[in-house]
Amino acid sequence: MGHNAFENLIVDNPADRLFRVNRRAFTDPSILEAERVGVFDRSWIYAGHESEIPEPGDFRARDVAGRPVILARGSDGEVRVLLNTCTHRGTLVCRESSGNTKTFQCPYHAWTFSNQGDLIGIPREEAYSGAFDRRELALATAPRMELYRGFIFISFNPQVDDLVDYLAGARAYLDLVCDQSEVGMEIVSGTQSYCMRANWKLLVENSIDGYHAPITHQRYVEFLYETGVDKSYIQNRWTGQGLALGNGHSVIVNEPMGGRPIAHWTPMFGKAKKAELAAMRQKLTERFGEERAYKIAQTSRNLFIFPNLIINDIMAITIRTFFPTTPDYMDITAWALAPVDESEENRHLRLDNFLTFLGPGGFATPDDVDMLEGCQKGFANREVGWSDISRGMHRDEPWSNDELQIRTFWRQWHELILQAQPADALTGF
């Protein structure tokens, strides 16, 4: 598959303030194949959080970038991401979603591996010659794995930039999330898993699109009014800023729309919470100074880390990833992130917000699913060949309801799939 096949997918014309995406990008199976090797295999991909495997022997099995993997904390205390395939004949060595174990045993021929990936047991090993070497048959790992403040990333590209360099400007906004606790952040027990009959890039666009929120999510706005939130406060929520952060990453920064139990009081919390939240704010100010404390407590952020990680630090902190299975179908997984030292009451408030707005049955997510599946159906009208992503191109400082952050994604995406070579398909998932 040559470069020319993908060169006409983007119209990027800064002089005329025009940016358009060919809708073939959402429907063509050959583009999905190029994405698998050119985007997902060449980027850093979020695999999990070290708080999910706190003790030696803990593990989590999940799919990451289309591959079954095991997040494992070995008996040595080290975090690893093992590829979940027996090095003998290939079947899964771990079939439980989570647990604690010293070993993973293949159910096919009982080859046994330690929780550090070493091959430690082979039935009737005497049948093999002297050339047989157990060390060569340890469980495989991704070519690269790095952690940043508890976030575990892997890459199948040995030459990928170091994670800190790859994160570029997104680091600063990830730090605003992590600095909400002095003792660390943790994934709250429980996982949201659902699917959508739409192309995965539609969810990228939607997750960093401030334009649709007051329209598509009008039910939630009305709910906030009912809780006593001032209308002017809600209206100001839509006047934040969209920022490009390098390497395809971007963020929407706004004043918080709804209440977060992080040092900032809103009417929905009730007057009894005022003193506690003021004390939390004072502690943040002492740690970081007034300016940074304000950013942590009184701004919200939709942070996108290319290619498929969304961290919504809005009503609650949601970590969301998604992977395509076909051009018009994706699997989505989401977790709640919270301060380890959060009070039981504040944890309850956080999870209520998490489910009320961002959950699969909440105010926002069903709206978004309906809209994006509608977009995918609309793409059947091939006579309408382009989607317009030009909003705000004439502004020096784009607003949060402009589309700078979406254009940032598309430019990085286009650059990567243009580099995808035919031979790479042999190493894709």
The stretch 46-53 carries a mean pLDDT of 98
Q: Which domain holds residue 249?
A: 168-418
CA distance 34 to 32: 5
57-108, pLDDT tens digit by residue?
A: 999 999 999 999 999 999 999 999 999 999 999 999 999 999 999 999 999 9
Report yes or no: 402 and 413 within 8 Å, Cβ to Cβ. no
- Show which of 100, 122, 155 is a domain's final residue: 155
**Within this chain, do residues 306 and 334 fall inside the same structural domain, yes or no?**
yes
Among residues 130, 155, 180, the one where a domain terminates is 155
Backbone φ and ψ of 64, nearest 5°? -135, 125
Do 238 and 312 belong together in one domain?
Answer: yes
Q: Name the residue among 358, 278, 287, 376 with its Cα closest to residue 316.
A: 358
The predicted pLDDT at position 424 comes to 44
- Whether 287 is covered by a domain: the verdict is yes
The token pair at 164 is 């800190």
Residues 407, 261 within the same domain = yes
Mean pLDDT (the chain) is 90
Q: What is the distance between the alpha carbons of residues 137 and 140, in angstroms, rounded to a whole number? A: 8
Contact at 8 Å (CB) between 237 and 357? Answer: no
pLDDT digits (tens, 9 = 90+) for 392-427: 999 988 888 999 999 999 999 999 999 885 544 434
Record the tokens describing residue 150, joined without a space.
Answer: 């508890």
CA–CA separation, 312 and 206 (whole Å): 12
Report how far apart, in Å, the C-alpha atoms of 299 and of each of 20, 210, 248, 251 are: 31, 15, 22, 12
Residue 351 gets the label, from left (phi > 0), alpha (psi -120 to 50) or beta, of alpha
pLDDT value of residue 427: 43
Place 345 in a pLDDT band, splitting at 50, 70 and 90: confident
- Domain endpoint, select from 155, 190, 206: 155
Amino acid at 386: W
Range 311-328 average pLDDT: 94
In this prediction, residue 420 carries a pLDDT of 82
Which residue from 107, 109, 87 is spatially nearest to 96, judged by alpha carbons? 107
Of residues 358 and 164, more confidently modeled: 164
Percent helix / strand / coil, the chain, rounded to 5? 35, 25, 40
pLDDT for residue 253: 92
Q: Measured between alpha carbons, how far is 6 from 167 in angstroms, rounded to an integer?
A: 26
Q: In terms of pLDDT, which residue wins out, 371 or 400?
A: 371
Is the residue at 9 inside a domain? no
246 and 118 housed in the same domain: no
